[in-house]
Structure 1
Amino acid sequence: MRLGKRASAAPPLEPSPQALAAAEHLAHLVRIPTVTPPPGPLSEADQALFTVYREELERLYPRVFAAAEVETPGRAGLLLRVPGQFAERPVLLMAHQDVVPVPADWAAEGWEHPPFDGVISGGRVHGRGTLDDKGAMVVALEALESLLTDGWSPLRDLYLFFGGDEESHGAAAVEAVSLLEERGVEPWMVLDEGGAVATEAFPTLRRPMAVIGASEKGLMTLRLTVESLGGHASTPPRESAPGILARALVAIEDHPFPAAVHDVSIEMLEGVAPHVARPMRGLLKRAGRRRAVLARIMPRLGPELAAMVRTTAAITQLEGSPAQNVLATRATAVINVRVAVGSSCDEAVEHLRGAIDDPRVAIDVVEASEPSPVSPTGDDARWRALGAAIGESYPDAVTVPYIMLAASDARHVARISPAVYRFSPLAMDKAQREAIHGPNENVEISALGAGVTFYRALLTGDALGPSDPARSRD
């Protein structure tokens, strides 16, 4: 290069053949609108839709389905077992087939492409499910299909579970876990959706951040109810049921749960410390001794970091009078509570009861699941295996544990496995993360290629099963 002349920017790399194949397959699966079915038995229409989806999986990944024993637990669940040389210490990989619904007027919601058209444009696959969670399912299957094509076979039994109703609390996963439990299957490691290779996720961190969920928050649905006499809207009482309920809801938002920084979050903060700007670096390097300071700072740095350090309560549904000129005899609100690891559902209810401080507001628990146990990190062989696979697929990423804020099917597996992790090996920027369950969900084709590389590295690594099985039985 001559001095005085500026080097031209390197042209963007063309996606690899495996990335392009994964993109085409994902786009095809997005076009099958496997929206989470309502509670109860599957309708004929939903059954037909999930049957078509399974048939397409079998067509796209013939070697996987030929090698596997296939069962269908629950509502449209798929449980595959690819036998290895050894049945002990099996590995379970998970994803889900179902997706959240899209409004009928999807264009008004802001979608740039029809959500179920599986459009490939601008180096990305667009559509509902590309990130949550068909993209992760595709890269796992692409990796396994390619390995089987190469003549590889797993050292230890490999299970795959693809839920059909994860977005409605995972009844299929519950049944699949019960089947495994009855058979004495105790997965040595479980990997489901959750974290990602995130950019723009942490202040001043310029490198990608591969966050692996070592635990996940508990999930609770509460219904708040206020009763009153009702009557004609022309003669309203001084206090109405909706008014009393409204004050209760304001009280909930005015009294957030106390913040506390869990050990997993400390490990995450200390892990990113060497890679952030200097003013923050010193604080994070000593995160374990600065918990109180961090508990005050993190809630101010955005909703993601705020949710990492406390239980959250979101008001999601409201109901009052059935008519515009009738006083409500009952007003209700649904509260979605995500319970912090280290707390409990009972503690969350008591906090809300104290914040509302009004006996006229009844609080009923509709459903509840406690926070998940914390899986091993540090020098554990399974954690090292995940880190090594990330190093192969995203060499610039900083790998750290975190507490998953949302809920996944993985929480149902925690009772039969000592190591349950939540990580999708897909790159996601801030806009992509915000598009999950929203408009313009999309995944980069290059990220799909990296995801295939991740799963190939994970499945053939020394911890899970080397390419030469004679090398190790551990």
Structure 2
Amino acid sequence: MTTPAPSVVGKLQALVRIPTVSDRDRDRVDHEAFDRLLVELARQFPRLHAELELTRVGSHGLLFRWAGADDSRPVVLMAHLDVVPVEDGWTRPAFDAVVADGFVWGRGTLDDKGCVVGICEAVETLLARGFTPAQDVWLSFGCDEEVMGTSAQEAVEVLRARGVSPWFVLDEGGAVAHGAFPGVSTPIAVIGVAEKGVTSVELRAEGHGGHASTPARMGPTARIARAVMRLERSPFRSSLPAPTVELMRRMAPHAPPALRPLMANAARISPVLARALVLAGPESAAMTRTTAAVTTLSGSPALNVIAATAKAGVNIRIMVGDSVAGVLAHVRKAVGDEHVHLDVIESGEPSPISPFREDAAFSLLEETIGEVFADAVASPYVMMAATDSRHFTAICERVYRFAPFRMTKAQRESIHATDERIGVDDLADGVRWYATLIERIR
């Protein structure tokens, strides 16, 4: 009696149960977990590993080449193997990969092992049919995306050294988003054609410290608190880049009647629409401007000790059209205190905007979305988070970001939070989408 092949759900469960949590401090990374993941990946997808050429990149990154009938317009499909840490409050254990209520629950199901499995299962299925792609297809799986690591950059250097200039690159990012815009019930399949830059800074104030019984005015903690509030009250300017204008135009027929004229004429009245999006909520506001989020705070090590140094970490997502230099100048002006130092921890400019108007590669993504997700409206957009694909803009003009899964607002909010989960049927649709895309490449 033969053993039945594991379902795609079982394959995702097997990967999610291995806690490949990345960390900026390499000494804190469980390298054995990553070793086990690579072994499991090979066990779940044996044809892929047997028939594709593999190059290791970084500590645990993978770069596969699937030789096509031609190599003049190669394509790169991307995902990443690492996940962020788990916090308390999960309904189901984060690394148990429980199937319940029609979902697979667990850290990495959406970000980004779902894409890893979707790509690999599509390739595995096509290989079993004896299919050969029309062009070379490269699979790039990074191992440190969540900590802004270097494995994707190393993959780019391997491709550059081999003279590979991709026709297009596709990474995680957008999704078939339900409830993405107030009043719009039609799912919007958003394809990231650019992504915000990521810059992290630390606001730092220093003083004499001392016993808490004799506090002085405007000590380090007070200065940092004031700086944080000043930054909070000084939002960045809002604007609508071209992809967002196009997103509004495509959503207009599906919006409430009162909003349709506003959205349909986004190009002409972009300042008015930008202000309206700011008022509509944090998700839509982030579509229009650079954002600054205070994410870490530190001060005294004890309740009865005045801090000698106080710090606030600020994560900044830089809008297309803004720059690192301009953003740092804005922060300094907003804080307005020469005693608060600004230390740049990391910096990155926004990515270039990839072609989306009358472009064959973008049209291919749209057509594939239309075939698998017939009820969705495909559209470009500016992605608010960062992906490994930003490094591939050095060798490719067309870098797109789309995870072919339906996601509710609650699911999108679960990424990097609690109760991350992917629909069982949605995972299957994602596999079908990747397979269809590969078949349509010419």
* Equivalent in the alignment of 2:51: 67
Matched, 1:457 2:441: no
> Aligned to 2:31, which of 40, 47, 55?
47
The amino acid across from 2:18 in the alignment is I
Matched, 1:88 2:67: no
Matched, 1:411 2:411: no
The amino acid across from 2:402 in the alignment is F
Matched, 1:23 2:9: yes
Matched, 1:192 2:171: yes
User: CA shift at 1:76, angstroms?
Assistant: 1.1
* Equivalent in the alignment of 1:13: none
1-side partners of 2:340 and 2:129: how far apart? 63
User: CA shift at 1:223, angstroms?
Assistant: 0.9
User: CA shift at 1:72, angstroms?
Assistant: 1.5
1-side partners of 2:31 and 2:228: how far apart? 39
Runs of 4+ in 1 over 3 A off after TM superposition: 40-43
User: Is contact 1:75–1:171 with CA below 8 Å preserved after alignment?
Assistant: no
How much is the aligned-residue C-alpha RMSD, in angstroms?
1.5
Please give the per-residue CA displacement for 1:263-310, whole angstroms capped at 9, x wherever unaligned: 110011001111212111111111100111111110111111100100
The amino acid across from 1:448 in the alignment is L
- Range 231-240 or range 382-391, more displaced: 231-240
* Equivalent in the alignment of 1:4: none
- Range 229-238 or range 390-399, more displaced: 229-238
User: CA shift at 1:220, angstroms?
Assistant: 0.2
Equivalences for residues 243-254 of structure 1 within 5 A: 243-254=222-233
Matched, 1:341 2:320: yes
The amino acid across from 1:321 in the alignment is S
> Aligned to 2:296, which of 317, 330, 336?
317
> Aligned to 2:21, which of 35, 39, 54?
35
Name structure 2 gaps, 5 residues minimum.
Answer: none
User: CA shift at 1:449, angstroms?
Assistant: 1.3
Equivalences for residues 30-429 of structure 1 within 5 A: 30-40=16-26, 46-103=30-87, 106=88, 109=89, 111-429=90-408
Please give the per-residue CA displacement for 1:319-347, whole angstroms capped at 9, x wherever unaligned: 11122222211111110000000110111
The amino acid across from 2:392 in the alignment is V
1-side partners of 2:342 and 2:233: how far apart? 18
- The residue matched to 2:347 in structure 1 has which SS? strand
User: Is contact 1:220–1:336 with CA below 8 Å preserved after alignment?
Assistant: yes
Please give the per-residue CA displacement for 1:71-94, whole angstroms capped at 9, x wherever unaligned: 211121111111112222210000
Matched, 1:437 2:416: yes
- The residue matched to 1:287 in structure 2 has which SS? coil
Query: Aligned in 2, Cα 1:115/1:42: closer, same or farther, shift over 3 Å?
Result: closer
2-side partners of 1:457 and 1:68: how far apart? 19
The amino acid across from 2:55 in the alignment is E
User: CA shift at 1:456, angstroms?
Assistant: 1.3
User: Is contact 1:392–1:453 with CA below 8 Å preserved after alignment?
Assistant: no
1-side partners of 2:28 and 2:159: how far apart? 23
The amino acid across from 2:22 in the alignment is T
Percent identical: 46
Please give the per-residue CA displacement for 1:127-158, whole angstroms capped at 9, x wherever unaligned: 11110001111111111111111110112111
2-side partners of 1:442 and 1:29: how far apart? 14
- The residue matched to 2:250 in structure 1 has which SS? helix
User: CA shift at 1:179, angstroms?
Assistant: 1.7
User: Is contact 1:94–1:160 with CA below 8 Å preserved after alignment?
Assistant: yes
Please give the per-residue CA displacement for 1:377-427, whole angstroms capped at 9, x wherever unaligned: 121010111011111111000000100000110111111101000000000
Please give the per-residue CA displacement for 1:417-439, whole angstroms capped at 9, x wherever unaligned: 01000000000001101111111
1-side partners of 2:118 and 2:25: how far apart? 29
